Amino acid sequence: MKLSIFRFNPEQDEKPYMQDYEIELETTDQMLLDVIVRLKVQDDTLTFRRSCREGVCGSDAMNINGRNGLACITPVRALKEPIKLRPLPSFPVIRDLVVDMTQFFKQYHSINPYLINNEPAPERERLQSPEDREKLNGLYECILCGCCTSQCPSSWWNPDKFVGPAGLLQAYRFIIDSRDQATQERLDDLNDPYRLFRCRTIMNCTEVCPKGLAPSRAIEKIRLMMIKESL
Amino acid sequence: MRRTVTGLRAWLLQRISAIYMLLFIIFFLTHFLVESPDSYQAWHGWMMSSGVSIATLIFFAALMLHVWVGVRDVLMDYIHPLALRIFALTLLGIGLVAITAWVMRILLMEHS
């Protein structure tokens, strides 16, 4: 199996380059991550993030043959050779496939990703009807891998001002939560030229989400809620 | 309520103007398919009837607002230095105002 991997070590290299690798597939190699973990045995300078190896932690997000995804849940045999691996587009590269996600998490924190409820907490827990709980499905599953935001042209042009699909999906997760009391503040916070309305409904986010979530649908629902609020 | 046309307002304005333009284009094309005017006079008379000329004026107003919001969005994405962006937006604004004036001149002067 042939791979071509983006290499860049800022301490040694002036410019990034693509390095070719060749490795025999073994029967235990199911996912792309299995192969690159074995590649690291061949070449221990190759650097990437991984942790849970089952699509839950979101560490091994990378650009695989031009499309963002998680190496650990991408079946390796279905990929076209040579498999081109690059770091997440538009994120600053730290080394090889490892990117700096500071900006991404800054945008995530900017939407206050926690329940805001000023009533005294009940003895056990804040209850929610099964119907209200149902509304969080398709939102809470986000693992913040960054695949969507890194593939979003609006985030490429304004990463500092546009919240980006991952952050907006989480914004909607709290807007729609029946236990949250800051709905209006959250909507007002997003109603400016940049934070939400840079979205041009390109829908790359929904196209690449490795968890099958739909940030573009969440953005649409936030817009509809804003319209209802302003009437 | 904020007064500037940004965020939700700009987005809504663009959708509403798009719907109006779509309806107008359908109306316009249907007219020419169903009762196609057989002479310049007939066409001119139809165009200058007050209903059609007002609808045409609204169409161009919607078009200008639509272009303003859309092109401004593109300029905001690609032109980051403030001075350059203000220059580009001014050019766009002057262009749109000039086109609007020209359309109004045609529609209103012909009328009188």
* CATH code of the domain in which B12 resides: 1.20.1300.10
Same-domain pairing of A108 and A217: yes
Chains A–B, number of C-beta pairs less than 8 Å apart? 29
**Confidence at residue B107, expressed as pLDDT on a 0 to 100 scale:** 84
List pLDDT tens digits, range B49-101.
889 989 999 999 999 999 999 999 999 999 999 999 999 999 999 999 999 99
Same-domain pairing of A176 and A66: no
Q: What are the distances in angstroms from CA A154 to CA A19, A106, A198, B77?
A: 30, 16, 6, 8
Return the residue of B nearest to A196 by Cα.
B7
Cα-Cα-Cα-Cα dihedral sign, residues A120, A222, A212, A97 = negative
Q: What are the distances in angstroms from CA B19 to CA A125, B12, B101, B104?
A: 47, 11, 23, 22
Query: CB–CB of A191 and B8 under 8 A?
Result: yes
Mean pLDDT throughout A161-189?
97
pLDDT tops 70 at residue A125: yes
Query: CB–CB of A197 and B1 under 8 A?
Result: no
Instruction: Indicate whether B87 belongs to any domain.
Output: yes
Least confident of A97-106, A157-166, B2-11, B97-106: B2-11
Sort out which chain A residues have CB atoms less than 8 A from B6's CB and list them: 192-193, 197
Same-domain pairing of A130 and A81: no
Instruction: Indicate whether B1 belongs to any domain.
Output: no
Tell me the CATH number at A8: 3.10.20.30
Mean pLDDT throughout A83-110?
97
**Confidence at residue B1, expressed as pLDDT on a 0 to 100 scale:** 44
Instruction: Indicate whether B2 belongs to any domain.
Output: no
Query: CB–CB of B10 and A191 under 8 A?
Result: no
The range of the structural domain enclosing residue A68 comes to 2-99
Instruction: Indicate whether B20 belongs to any domain.
Output: yes
Same-domain pairing of A216 and A106: yes
Same-domain pairing of A37 and A145: no
The range of the structural domain enclosing residue B53 comes to 7-111
Residue where a domain stops, chosen among A56, A80, A99: A99
Mean pLDDT of chain A: 96
Tell me the CATH number at A210: 1.10.1060.10
**Confidence at residue A96, expressed as pLDDT on a 0 to 100 scale:** 96
List pLDDT tens digits, range A47-70.
999 999 999 999 999 999 999 999
Residue where a domain stops, chosen among A65, A99, A133: A99
Q: How far is A59 from chain B (nearest CA, A)?
A: 29
Same-domain pairing of A83 and A24: yes
Higher pLDDT, B1 or B80: B80
Picking from A184, A189, A223, A229 by the largest number of B CB atoms within 10 A of its own CB, the best residue to mutate is A223
Q: How far is B23 from chain A (nearest CA, A)?
A: 22
pLDDT tops 60 at residue B44: yes
Residue where a domain stops, chosen among A67, A99, A131: A99
Sort out which chain B residues have CB atoms less than 8 A from A197's CB and list them: 6-8, 10-11
Same-domain pairing of A49 and A126: no
Same-domain pairing of A220 and A110: yes
Instruction: Kindly state the percentage of chain A with pLDDT values over 70.
Output: 100
Sort out which chain B residues have CB atoms less than 8 A from A196's CB and list them: 7
Query: CB–CB of B8 and A200 under 8 A?
Result: no
Instruction: Kindly state the percentage of chain A with pLDDT values over 90.
Output: 98
**Confidence at residue B4, expressed as pLDDT on a 0 to 100 scale:** 67
Per-residue confidence at A230, pLDDT binned at 50, 70, 90? confident
Residue B11 contacts A, CB cutoff 8 Å: yes
List pLDDT tens digits, range A12-31.
999 999 999 999 999 999 99
Count of structural domains within chain B = 1
**Confidence at residue B3, expressed as pLDDT on a 0 to 100 scale:** 57
Same-domain pairing of A109 and A222: yes
Sort out which chain A residues have CB atoms less than 8 A from B12's CB and list them: 227
Same-domain pairing of A116 and A211: yes
Instruction: Indicate whether B76 belongs to any domain.
Output: yes
Same-domain pairing of A130 and A156: yes
Residue B3 contacts A, CB cutoff 8 Å: no
Sort out which chain A residues have CB atoms less than 8 A from B10's CB and list them: 193, 197
